Amino acid sequence: MKRKKLSTIKQILISMVIGIIAGMLLGENARSLKIIGDIFLRLIQMSVVILIMGAVIEAVGNLDTKDLGKLGIKMIFWFMFFTIIAATIGIGLGLLLKPGAGVLFEASESVVEQPIQELSQIIVDFFPTNIIDSMASGNMIQVIVFAILFGATLSTLREKKMSNMILDWVKDLNVVIINMISKIMVIAPIGIGALLAYTTGTMGIGVILPLMKFLIIFGIGTIIHLFISVILTAIYCKASPIRIARKLTNMTVMAFTTTSSAVTLPIKMKDSETKLGVSSRISNLVNPLAMTLNSNGLSMFLALACITVAQIYKIEIDILSIIKIITLSTLACLGTVVVPGGGLVALAIVMPSIGLPLEGIVLMSGIDWFSGMFRTVLNVDTDALISMLIAKDTKELNYDILNSD
């Protein structure tokens, strides 16, 4: 009798438990396991830039030029809609449940104040001066801008009946990259288990106790946002919310354990097509763009963190400050780093802008890895749901796949 093989998702869950137990037992000795996790993350990340560029070029290159503008407007609308909701939920829960009340924190004098970028400079930095440099530095938004322009040019040439050789080559490259990543994912349980062992062993559970309330509230906010998002998507697409939620499981676990939208991207793109019924054309366009431009989890984190730090330092938050927090939490998500640690970079932009002490970042850095779990889940799952919404609008949502078990 042939033994049934454990699915990757079950292997990852088992490795999480083993990793946490190993970390608690080994303590500082678990530091040596970090190399295994780092190698896994690097194997995934080494092709993310090419994957994003190729997917966007292929998706845009296959579009008619008149369709690109319509899809762009729809994407921007949904990105902003869900991001603003996330920031609003973060502020609402922060004001209601007061995670910063009663927390004692001694400000560090070693914090170096970061230069604050003007909004105009942030927008200018969306556009690359050297695409090779942008790829080398992992500047995702600049890579995407180049890929959109490159793909749009290929689309124009295709409509003029000119050669599709370059577009065909990009499609073949995408197939190779996705297959390579699928092979790398075989070692995901080992890599994730090693990372959890290292984190538990070196940081310990005690590091999160002073801000456990913040993490619990953030987790509640994540669940509320996902509940609203799934229900809205189910109503809009006329599908079962329970079925949609169940089909988000793979990407949810991967996002939660790796805390990286970039690492989860291949899983998100695959499941959007094979489980949620989104066409490859829409998935290849929406999911890579959403990874950079639709950071709902980061938006909620920034809003909740600002309220928490204000409460810790006894700083009054008025209605104008709330509007400013929502605005900045939404804008700071554009082009933010999609790997672990990006939340602290965004905090360095938002906190000084609303008059909060930059020392608050030190406090949040202690739980950044743990809060990153919730941030990434919210980012990834909402991206997939938006791809469903747009696929429904363009009549490219396969209900046979979506309704299958």
Q: In this structure, what are the phi and psi dihedrals at residue 397, rounded to the nearest 5 degrees?
A: -105, 115
For the chain, give the mean pLDDT.
82
- Position with higher pLDDT, 205 vs 341: 205
All structural domains of the chain: 8-402 (1.10.3860.10)
Spell out the residues 6+ positions from residue 354 whose beta carbon is closer than 8 angstroms to its own: 306, 321, 324, 325, 328
Confidence of residue 49 (pLDDT cuts 50, 70, 90): confident
CB–CB of 378/300 below 8 Å? yes
Strand ranges, E, within 70-220: none
The yes-or-no verdict on residue 385 having pLDDT over 60 is yes
Q: What is the per-residue pLDDT across 123-138, written as a single tens digit (0 to 9) for each?
A: 787 788 999 998 888 7
| DSSP assigned state of 103 | -
Q: How far is CA 391 from CA 77, 217, 277, in A?
A: 14, 33, 9
Other C-beta atoms closer than 10 Å to the C-beta of 162 total 10
Strand, helix or coil for residue 278: strand
Spell out the residues 6+ positions from residue 76 whose beta carbon is closer than 8 angstroms to its own: none
CB–CB of 249/27 below 8 Å? no
- Which residue matches tokens 């970390």? 23
Instruction: Name the packing angle between helices 261-274 and 249-258 (round to 10°).
Output: 180
Dihedral of alpha carbons 197, 202, 206, 212, sign: negative
Spell out the residues 6+ positions from residue 209 whose beta carbon is closer than 8 angstroms to its own: none
Rg (CA), the chain: 21
| Per-residue H/E/C for 213-242 | HHHHHHHHHHHHHHHHHHHHHHHHHCCCHH
The candidate with the shortest Cα–Cα distance to 224, out of 97, 340, 402, is 97
Q: In this structure, what are the phi and psi dihedrals at residue 121, rounded to the nearest 5 degrees?
A: -70, -35
Strand ranges, E, within 35-143: none
The yes-or-no verdict on residue 346 having pLDDT over 50 is yes
Confidence of residue 109 (pLDDT cuts 50, 70, 90): very low
In angstroms, the CA 197 to CA 191 distance is 10
What pLDDT, on a 0 to 100 scale, did the predictor assign at position 113? Answer: 44
**DSSP states of 201-217 as a string?**
HHH-GGGGGGGHHHHHH
**Amino acid identity for residue 221 in this structure:** G
What pLDDT, on a 0 to 100 scale, did the predictor assign at position 349? Answer: 66
Confidence of residue 110 (pLDDT cuts 50, 70, 90): very low
Burial 281-313 (b: 16+ CB within 10 A, else e): bbbbbbbbbbbbbbbbbbbbbbbbbbbbbbbbe
Confidence of residue 37 (pLDDT cuts 50, 70, 90): confident
